């Protein structure tokens, strides 16, 4: 006996419901990643506020952050000059500057200026995990980032490694990464 197929009009709502469920599940994954990352971002903000080098280092992927800063330095050198010789010199100098950044710039006191630009100041309480999660944006590659405004470009990038979200990239203003010697 042959089964009759239901008319297409009956299948269409089922497909729409299935599509909606799939999209909701994918959005839930992005939200879960942001909420999970927010706990570690909160810990990073506390380390920055308290100038706690050990806690800061636990939430920073130094190698990735150093590569990110090196890449930004090279982009900046290319953007500022048309001269191929100067660009080549910039490419040679960028790794040396990134090494210096690793030692002098990737520290809590330096990132205090970046945190301050987001409104996180030592004299104010740090928002909770849910508030921080709302300020994070899921990236297509599984990382999350913090932006200055809702749909703005990523500034701080976080990657998950061994169950911990670590600061792994910086796409903000390089001028904010000046070493800070004094405590506010």
Q: Is 49 left (phi over 0), alpha (psi -120 to 50) or beta?
A: alpha
Contacts of 132 by beta carbon, 8 Å cutoff, 6+ apart: 38, 41, 42, 45
The residue written with tokens 């990038």 in the block is 157
Residue 145 inside a domain? The answer is: yes
Residue numbers of the domain that contains 50: 14-177
pLDDT of res. 24: 41
pLDDT digits (tens, 9 = 90+) for 64-100: 998 888 888 778 777 777 766 666 666 666 667 666 6
Is 55 exposed, middle or buried, given 0-12, 13-18 or 19+ CB atoms closer than 10 A? middle
Residue 184 lies in a domain: no
1 assigned to some structural domain:
no
Rounded to the nearest angstrom, the gap between the alpha carbon of residue 45 and the centroid of all alpha carbons in its chain is: 13
- Asked if the structure places residue 5 within a domain, the reply is no
The percent of residues in the chain predicted with pLDDT above 70, rounded, is 69
Query: For 103-145, what is each residue's pLDDT tens digit?
Result: 777 888 888 888 887 777 888 888 888 888 888 999 999 999 9
Examine residue 182 and state whether it is found in any structural domain, yes or no: no
Query: Given strand 164-170, what is the order of strands in its sheet?
Result: 136-138, 144-147, 154-161, 164-170
Q: In angstroms, how far apart are the furthest CA atoms of the chain?
A: 85
Q: Is 67 inside a domain boundary? A: yes
This prediction's pTM: 0.72
| Cα 73 to Cα 55, 97, 161, 169, distances in angstroms | 27, 8, 25, 13
Structure tokens at 38: 């927010």
Instruction: Give dist(CA 49, CA 55) in Å, integer.
Output: 11
Is 121 contained in some domain?
A: yes
pLDDT digits (tens, 9 = 90+) for 173-183: 877 776 555 44
The band of 157, judged by pLDDT with boundaries at 50, 70 and 90, is very high
167 in any annotated domain: yes
Question: What is the number of domains present in the chain?
Answer: 1
Show the DSSP H helices in the chain as ranges: 8-50, 53-58, 62-80, 84-104, 108-117, 129-135
Q: Residue 6: what are its φ and ψ, rounded to 5°?
A: -70, 150
């Amino acid at each position: 006996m042959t089964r009759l197929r239901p008319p297409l009009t009956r299948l269409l709502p089922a497909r729409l419901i299935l599509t909606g469920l799939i999209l909701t599940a994918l959005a839930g994954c992005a939200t879960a990643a942001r909420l999970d990352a927010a706990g570690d971002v909160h810990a990073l903000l506390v380390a920055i506020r308290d100038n706690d080098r050990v806690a800061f280092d636990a939430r920073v992927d130094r190698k990735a952050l150093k590569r990110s800063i090196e890449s930004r330095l090279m982009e900046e050198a290319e953007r500022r000059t048309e001269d191929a010789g100067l660009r080549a010199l910039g490419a040679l100098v960028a790794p040396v500057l990134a090494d210096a950044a690793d030692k002098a710039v990737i520290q809590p006191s330096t990132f205090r200026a970046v945190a301050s630009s987001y409104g996180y100041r030592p004299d104010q309480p740090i928002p909770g995990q849910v508030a921080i999660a709302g300020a994070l944006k899921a990236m297509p590659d599984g990382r999350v980032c913090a932006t200055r405004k809702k749909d703005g470009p990523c500034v701080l990038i976080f990657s998950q490694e061994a169950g911990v979200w670590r600061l792994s990239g910086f796409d903000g203003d390089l001028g904010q990464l000046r070493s800070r010697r004094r405590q506010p």
